[in-house]
Chain A
């Protein structure tokens, strides 16, 4: 495994400067283009994004100020062979995640077998006791999963993080492709790229396949289950995506204030009266779903929805309580989890992880802080973490104090030398670190992985942080056809 300091792997160019096979067709096209024209297209792309409103809001920023996630026009390219292996690994992992959730909320065999310590569940807010003994419609917990992958070598893909709650970013996957096709149509006649545009249709199909017991086609004249996207509203950072997906699926985009529980169903207020919803794709956190069951101050959810859910009146996707599966404290056990439920060795590796709750690990981490990445167990979005190699002595000392105070709150990982893909800059192509989030749909009919995903790129030279809230950008991600 390549770690920081060693020469990192570039996905476009070999060490000798020759072009790797995945990028051959693209590079040939690119070298034939006029740079001035490319630069103009680049500026055009930003105007395009602003006009259609692909923006996100930054919390704590000036109210209502909307930012663009920078888009880089050089695609991230994955060969058919690489993708085949990735899909096998992702499918295995997602299957294990769902089996794990089913087990955790029922017999807890994995704890009985001693593979997972009970401490991982105790006092863990992501574990919802309200879900114990309940099986969601169709047996599906994580209808939509985003698996964050990093690459450190030609054949080395690792899972950095599982996103089993409400993974976002899929609208960027779709709009990035639209933008590339609008800017460079002829490029797509030269390179065989697998399409991603039917994701919303597949999402809708997958959600409808999980209709609750209360859905009876005979009672609604054979009509398909009613799907709605539940959003916290226009000030949420991912509102654009919520509206985009609802629109593309032909589903209603609802807010908590549109909904109410009536006759054992969750109903939305329409111009002609209240109408029952079968499947809710919620983009609201567990804690805000139901003021009667969870956070009593929440105005984003629906009072009583949890009771309706438990009695088969509605499907909530993803199921409440799935956060326990992508918890950073659980992450380090994923190799064991995969093996326990699938009976197979994991195809995709975890990043080696030290649990600071364990004395030996803590000792090692404290001795090597300058070389490690330390993450808060419950943090997200790149906040509350320490990247040893790029931090000052003072920052490291401050973090050390926090770590000593509450070691159980942290895990540590080696600073990986993430692969790079070039971005388009004023001075020409320049390598930047990337990760990849493929999107996975789970339904009783099977697991469906869209070819590609969202490539996030750290735009600052040498930076390893790809989060959009920390100055990251995105790229179109191509999976080549066989």
Chain B
């Protein structure tokens, strides 16, 4: 396939995943704002959402104060925010249009319909009363497109590039959420492991849709080390770093098989895999969780760049 087309499906999937992750963060922020009393702690929560999505600076340039509706409207639809959910879904749809010949009708139509319905829902400012509906529609779009991919696409290069995009974005998201939460909530990594408000941990798990799974695996008891292990090293949880890594590795293996040869990204992945598989959560904490996560984020970016270069995404 064309390098430009590979780039298109990769970014289409990344943008959809990112839109969905942003929606989940807003959901958590909103949930928390409703359940926690003071104005200050609410603001704090929204600030943390902005930090996690990497949009705090952009927000501050446009607005002088942090209020819930202003933040979620900024994140969802603000015209001057190129990172808004609407802009991302539009980007995903534009990329889908570019690579339309590589996609099945089902994938194109679900992407296009998702964009059309969101554009309509986000045509006017979102209020607290319809925020839920909007967020559900964003999640639904991501779910439907993934389902259409899964159900209708040949398991070929197009499919593999799409999945690689999804899991690189997801790994990046999980690593950032984890990092922001530890970093923001704890003045130094030395505090990690001390007793903390359960609500904070629950919030963290909710941000990656892992609260139910974690409770189920741990019979309802929570501890920070267990949560970190769950989000980094659990092989079953579909948003853990290890899980995302395994997916990327298997889709890259699919490409090597189809093309009959490996590229430099395969070796890079093997190196990353070796460390990931041999590391225990104790070692991660000894090294410093923040440092470890920073390293992960750098690696994820590097993997994305090497894949893009190896497969000639651009000239």
Interface residues of A (CB under 8 A from B): 50-53, 233-234, 239, 243, 246-247, 252-255, 257-258, 268-273
Contact = CB atoms under 8 A, between A and B. Distances in A.
B315 A270 contact: no
B89 to A, nearest CB: 14
B97 A254 contact: no
Given A52-B109, A53-B112, A257-B315, A243 B97 contact: yes
Interface stretch (B98-106, B212-220, B293-301): B98-106
A268 B2 contact: yes
A254 B161 CA distance: 18
B109 A258 contact: no
B274 interface: no
Given A50-B116, A247-B101, A258 B3 contact: yes
B172 interface: no
A50 B112 CA distance: 9
B2 A269 contact: yes
B101 A271 contact: no
B148 to A, nearest CB: 13
5 contacts: A51-B113, A257-B315, A270-B2, A271-B259, A272-B259
B237 interface: no
Contacts of B101: 243, 246-247, 252-253
Contact of A247 (B4, B98, B100, B255): B100
Best-buried of A234, A243, A273 by chain B (most CB within 10 Å): A243
Nearest to A252: B2
A254 B100 contact: no
Nearest to B100: A243
B108 A53 contact: yes
A239 B97 contact: yes
A269 B4 contact: yes
B109 A270 contact: no
Contacts of A233: 98
Contacts, number: 60
A48 to B, nearest CB: 10
A51 B100 contact: no
Across chains A and B, which 5 residue pairs bring their CB atoms closest together, nearest first? Answer: A271-B311, A247-B101, A243-B100, A269-B3, A253-B101
B31 interface: no
Give the dominant DSSP class at B's interface.
helix
Contact of A258 (B2, B97, B105, B259): B2
A52 B105 contact: yes
Best-buried of B4, B109, B116, B311 by chain A (most CB within 10 Å): B4
B2 A254 contact: yes
Interface string B26-52: 000000000000000000000000000
A93 B165 CA distance: 52
Contacts of B123: none
B23 interface: no
B157 interface: yes
A252 B8 CA distance: 14
B6 interface: yes
A255 B314 CA distance: 12
B112 A270 contact: no
Nearest to A53: B112
B1 interface: yes
A122 to B, nearest CB: 41
Nearest to B161: A271
B91 to A, nearest CB: 12
Contacts of B259: 271-272
A270 B116 contact: no
A269 B312 CA distance: 7
B157 A269 contact: no
Nearest to B113: A51
Contact of A53 (B1, B97, B255): B97
Best-buried of A51, A239, A254, A268 by chain B (most CB within 10 Å): A51
Contact of B4 (A50, A53, A257): A257
A309 to B, nearest CB: 21
A255 B109 contact: no
B264 to A, nearest CB: 14
Contacts of B105: 52
A36 B199 CA distance: 56
